[in-house]
Amino acid sequence: MQIQKMALAVTTGAVVICGCQGTTRNNDHNTTAKKDGDTTVYLSQPIVTHIFTADPSAHVFNDRLYIYPSHDTATGTPENDLGDHFNMMDYHVLSLDSIGGPVTDHGAALHIKDIPWAGRQLWAPDAAYANNTYYLYFPVKDKKDIFRIGVATSRTPEGPFKAEQQPIKGSYSIDPAVFRDSNGVHYMYFGGIWGGQLQRWNNNRYDSTAGLRGPEEEAILPRIARLGKDMKSFTEEPKVIRIVDRNGHLFKEKDNDKRFFEASWMHRYNGKYYFSWSTGDTHNLCYATGDSPYGPFTYEGVLLNPVQGWTNHHSIIEYRGKWYLFYHDTQLSGKTHLRNVKVTGLKYNADGSIQPITAMYKQ
């Protein structure tokens, strides 16, 4: 087991690390890439520094906070617009008893070599609990280089997880986010354009020749599918999620400061459904609200302003009566494919809107 211990203070100002690091088996990087004369101030500091982590999916299991992130490594894969340099080999599960308390790295929970149908590139995962079982959902390219979504199971939240022999039938693209509604029904939200291949799927059929939308075309939309009671299958074909403006109009591709790119997340607050996502090339995290897990969702605004690095991917949870936003940036490495997970408090206004967060600024 790898253990990383540090005190993480969540405040409205800058956050500093104190304490010490425990022993690690994989010391990918443990220094900050801040250059002389850099006046950047960060709202939060990395939760762990002994490995690179990204795309944090946070959940509360047994009154303990568990984080299921991507595990970035420097594989030497050349960078390109399709994200081939995000070439992850395994997942590590992190846990802690309180925000600000020691963080435990439980080691490798699932490795790509143990997924029978996998080809390459593990990307952002998520987790859920049902049937006295913990489920880890993950995208990975199959032997034909097409992203599918798989599932692995464990009797404990930290794993290790055992992968199913095949991906979830009818699944595709990336960034699975599993949401449990108040009636106990689970839904999977997923999809990501560009390297995530969502643009190649129309009416749930794959077309390898399909390209990105033009500026005046309607933007590509995320997907939702209800999970079966076994948590390993869909009970329906994936459906499109409509994200609209205040006038009920869908966004166009040119509205790339608002339109969906990747990183779906769903949570509920005061009876409303909050769907949030990353705009990708414009680096915002945005959110929209609706009255059904299927939407439609009305755009509300920016949740998190751009951070250092090209991508962002988040989760939102309530823990012991307070709300938190988990996200990532590249403070430790300065490289887009070597990221670090962070957390900060999340606040709502009286009308249910979320107060936008600025995670970094120059002094």
Structural contact between residues 54 and 333, judged by C-beta atoms closer than 8 angstroms = no
Q: How far is CA 110 from CA 90, 196, 324, 341, 347, in A?
A: 6, 21, 26, 19, 34
Structural contact between residues 109 and 136, judged by C-beta atoms closer than 8 angstroms = yes
Structural contact between residues 236 and 226, judged by C-beta atoms closer than 8 angstroms = yes
Q: Is the Cα torsion angle 199, 203, 207, 209 positive or negative in sign?
A: negative
Quote the tokens at residue 362. 């120059």
Would you say residue 15 has pLDDT above 70? no
Would you say residue 152 has pLDDT above 60? yes
Choice between 224 and 76, residue whose per-residue pLDDT is larger: 224
Instruction: Give the distance from CA 54 to its chain's centroid.
Output: 8
Residue-wise pLDDT tens digits, 91-147: 999 999 999 889 999 999 999 999 999 999 999 999 999 999 999 999 999 999 999
Residue-wise pLDDT tens digits, 227-247: 999 999 999 999 999 999 999
225 Cβ neighbours under 8 A, 6+ residues apart? 170, 171, 187, 188, 190, 234, 235, 236, 237, 238, 239
Q: Which of 56-60, 72-76, 352-356 has the lowest mean pLDDT?
A: 72-76
For the chain, what is the mean pLDDT?
90
State residue 282 phi and psi, 5-degree precision. Answer: -110, 0
Residue-wise pLDDT tens digits, 54-69: 999 999 999 999 999 9
- Pair type for strands 243-244 and 297-304: parallel
Quote the tokens at residue 312. 């962002």
Choice between 123 and 82, residue whose per-residue pLDDT is larger: 123
Q: In percent, how much of the chain has pLDDT > 70?
A: 90
Instruction: Give the distance from CA 351 to its chain's centroid.
Output: 26
pLDDT confidence of 34, banded at 50, 70, 90?
low
pLDDT confidence of 299, banded at 50, 70, 90?
very high
Residue-wise pLDDT tens digits, 171-192: 999 999 999 999 999 999 999 9
Residue-wise pLDDT tens digits, 189-223: 999 999 999 999 999 999 999 999 999 999 999 99
Q: Is the Cα torsion angle 116, 118, 124, 130 positive or negative in sign?
A: negative
With vertex at residue 105, the alpha carbon angle to CA 95 and CA 335, rounded to the nearest 5 degrees, is: 105
pLDDT confidence of 38, banded at 50, 70, 90?
confident
Return the residue matching tokens 């600024």: 361
pLDDT, position 275: 99
User: What per-residue string of b and e applies to 166-200 under the rule 16 or more CB within 10 Å gives b?
Assistant: ebbeebbbbbbbbbbeeeeebbbbbbbbbbbbbbb
pLDDT, position 113: 98
Structural contact between residues 94 and 102, judged by C-beta atoms closer than 8 angstroms = no
Catalytic residues: 55, 262
Would you say residue 296 has pLDDT above 70? yes
CATH superfamily membership of 2-362: Glycosyl hydrolase domain; family 43 (2.115.10.20)
Mean pLDDT of 29-40: 59
